[in-house]
Structure 1
């Protein structure tokens, strides 16, 4: 008896039942929250759990039934339409890591053969070791070594500037 005071009622007492769609895979009792098309150009969808959706999509070929020119045109169209997502990687919205580093930083760390959580002291040490091996003074006249040294220089600059930005913000 709450005498008309709703705050005295138990929590969840007035909550309605929620309808959960189960996975369409026979025998699966997981929620089916991953829609998948039943056939091309058909609005009907299967609803799978994440595990069965991955299984369903594993052998799916986006370019099936297209000749080389049509496949190339579709690939160009997709590349053009998805260019905004590639741009977003600059802001750390995409790519590996925990989102604290940009895609350029992750590529620089990969070039220096470091983990994503490496601190700047480790970056500096790895850069010095790599740069000493291919420095133009060590290998004069070697164009490949000079190009490799330039890559290490750019990677170090990217990481140095990112560290300066972090120090400035922090």
Structure 2
């Protein structure tokens, strides 16, 4: 008669571990050369490719930091893809009251991201960089520098509005802080 095995259940099936056996689990290592961490974060090898790199969390963040989903698309194609994805993901719009439903990197709203784009700054730009970019761009198109130029006045207004959006957001962060 075989000897009974000890159970991992302890009488409660939900207490069982993810690996139901005591055997060694197969773990995939990070695809980054020289890294010995567990590679459980997929990262695309190329745009629109099903092939994926498997990185640890640190290397996946490093790899995806500069990833541009819209790379190589002109403005019309970019808008069409954005519109398509918004209609396909309409069910997720319900979560907007949690602050993650809108566009952005999670810490900034869609308006802030558009304002940063107007000032040609990265999504993680500090407010000091925002102020510096606004001042340099505003000096070029200020109505006192280019009097009577309607295009320059419109550009100045656009830069001013972008700065105001980012300034009010920064004040809200300091107030909550």
TM-score normalised by length of structure 1: 0.50
Question: Do the aligned residues in 2 keep the contact of 1:136 with 1:142 (CA within 8 Å)?
Answer: yes
Could you say if the C-alpha distance between residues 85 and 13 of structure 1 is closer, same or farther in structure 2, counting changes exceeding 3 Å? closer
Rounded Cα–Cα distance in structure 1 between residues aligned with 2:94 and 2:17:
44
1:94 corresponds to: 102
**Which structure is larger by alpha-carbon Rg, 1 or 2?**
1
Q: 1:155 aligns with which of 146, 149, 162?
A: 162
Specify the SS of the correspondent of 1:138: coil
What is the deviation of 1:165? Answer: 0.4
1: CA distance between counterparts of 2:138 and 2:18? 67
* Structure 2 counterparts to residues 25-36 of structure 1, below 5 A: none
Shift, 1:11, TM fit = 5.0
Q: Which of 140, 143, 161 is residue 136 of structure 1 equivalent to?
A: 143
Do the aligned residues in 1 keep the contact of 2:95 with 2:101 (CA within 8 Å)? no
The equivalent of 1:20 in structure 2 is none
The aligned counterpart of 1:27 is: none
Runs of 4+ in 1 over 3 A off after TM superposition: 10-16, 84-89
**Structure 1 counterpart of 2:17:** 12
What SS class does the counterpart of residue 161 from structure 1 fall into? Answer: helix
Structure 1 CA distance for aligned equivalents of residues 143 and 108 of structure 2 = 30
Aligned partner of 2:114 among 101, 107, 125: 107
The TM-score normalised by the length of structure 2 is 0.49
**Deviation of residue 86 (structure 1)?**
10
Residue of structure 2 aligned with 1:119, choices 118, 126, 129: 126
Looking at structure 2, the residues matched to 117 and 13 of structure 1 have their Cα atoms a distance apart, in angstroms, of 37
User: Structure 2: 5+ residue runs without aligned partners?
Assistant: 22-48, 52-82
Check whether the contact 1:109–1:116 (CA below 8 A) recurs between aligned residues. Answer: yes
- Alpha-carbon separation, structure 2, partners of 1:14 and 1:122: 49
Which runs of no fewer than 5 residues in structure 1 stay unpaired? 17-49, 53-74
How many residues align? The count is 107
What RMSD, in angstroms, separates the aligned Cα atoms of the two structures? 4.1
Distance verdict in 2 for CA 1:13–1:164, change over 3 Å: closer
